Structure 1
Amino acid sequence: MIVALLNQKGGVGKTTLATHLAGELARSGARILLIDADPQGSALDWSEQRAREGLTRVFPVIGLARETLHREVPELARGYEHVVIDGPPRVTGLVRSALLASDLVLIPVQPSPYDAWASAELLRLLDDARGWKPGLEARFVLNRCIARTLLLRDARRELAAAVPPALASAVGQRVVFARCARSGRLAAEEAPGSQAAREVAALAAEVLETAP
């Protein structure tokens, strides 16, 4: 499976979800490659911080912010069961290449109407990519949620009728994720058994069920 996390709006938590999804899949015993296709290189920074902390590498991270991504990924994916792509914001050519490289696209959105509106351009690119890859699947993912708020309730209601649909799993706005970004750890390492770790595990399980 090749899964890309894409949204042309910045600040929706793509890198947090990408590193944690890759980490959870690796913790289950799968061989995982994470490709940092964001020119900002946040996933690479996370991996380098992990190395500075002396932590065991749970999966390799490579930088590949190029519009030839879709041609290079098949070779890079050899020997791995799953590839996770941390996509770029606002770079249309690179986003198109990431779409063509993928089997499943996850579109992280915060529980805000502005995030849903900002996804319109990505959905157009997704429709274009399906002209080349008819089986390309996509799902919205609610991220950085604050539990039991009206915004979250309204977002769930709106996404229930969205195309593409939303995953049932949602990930909260939790301090542990900020600590993980600074330490190079995963939530399951930083706070084993925490709500954050359980949400990531549920997300990974649903992604595996959804993948074509």
Structure 2
Amino acid sequence: MIVALLNQKGGVGKTTLALHLAGEWTRRGKRITLIDADPQGSALDWSQTRGGEGLPRRFGVIGLARDTLHHEAPELARSADHVVIDGPPRVAGLMRSALLAADLVLIPVQPSPFDGWASAEMLSLLEEARIYRPELAARFVLNRCGARTVIARETAETLVDHDPPALVATIGQRVAFAAAAQQGRLVDEIGDGGRAASEIAALAAEIERLRVGRNVP
């Protein structure tokens, strides 16, 4: 399965979710390749920080911020159980290539009306991609949310009947994610990352239950 985390709005947590999904699936024994398709290269920076700390590599990180991604990602998928794409903000050609490469598009959004408005352009690109890939699946992921806040609850309720719908699993606003990133680690590798790690585990499990993907000969 090729999973692309995409949203034209920056700062919604695409890289954090991409790294942690890759890490969680690796922990479960899956072979994972993460493609950093963001010209800013944040996932590559994380990988380099991890290497500098002398930590073992949990999964491969490859920089492919180019619009031939839809040709290259399926080739990488031949030797992996899942490929995770950390997508770019507001690079139309690269975004379209990532959409054509993916089996599942995850659209991270924060519990804010501004994120909802920004997603409209993303959904337009998704519909365009479905002309060529009608089987392309998509889900919203509610990220950086306070479970007890009214706006988080209202956002989740709004997305229940949306197309695409939202995943049930949500990710909270937790300092453990930032603390882990600074050290080239994931939240399951730091002492106070338990609740964040549990949320990631639930998200990874729900995605796998979707059973989307293409047959690669």
TM-score (norm 1): 0.98
CA distance in 2, matches of 1:92, 1:122: 10
CA distance in 2, matches of 1:27, 1:192: 18
SS across alignment from 1:154:
helix
Shift of 1:191: 3.4
Q: 1:136 to 1:144 in 2, by over 3 A?
A: same
- What residue in structure 2 maps to residue 52 of structure 1? 52
Shift of 1:158: 1.0
Per-residue CA deviation, residues 169-206 of structure 1 (Å, 9 max, x unaligned), is 00011010001110111111113771100000000000
- Percent sequence identity over matched residues? 67
Shift of 1:76: 2.0
Shift of 1:79: 1.1
More strand by share: 1
User: Given the alignment of the two structures, is residue 190 of structure 1 paired with residue 205 of structure 2, yes or no?
Assistant: no
Does the CA contact (< 8 Å) of 2:176 and 2:193 recur in 1?
Answer: no
CA distance in 2, matches of 1:125, 1:179: 34
User: Given the alignment of the two structures, is residue 81 of structure 1 paired with residue 81 of structure 2, yes or no?
Assistant: yes
Map 1:116-127 to 2 at 5 A. Answer: 116-127=116-127
Shift of 1:75: 1.6
One-letter identity of the residue aligned with 1:34: L
Does the CA contact (< 8 Å) of 1:2 and 1:82 recur in 2?
Answer: yes
- What residue in structure 1 maps to residue 215 of structure 2? none
One-letter identity of the residue aligned with 1:202: A
One-letter identity of the residue aligned with 2:186: L
Could you list the runs of 5+ residues in structure 2 that have no partner in the other structure?
213-217
- Cα root mean square deviation, aligned: 1.0
Map 1:53-202 to 2 at 5 A. Answer: 53-191=53-191, 194-202=194-202
CA distance in 2, matches of 1:211, 1:63: 27
SS across alignment from 1:144:
coil
Aligned residues: 212
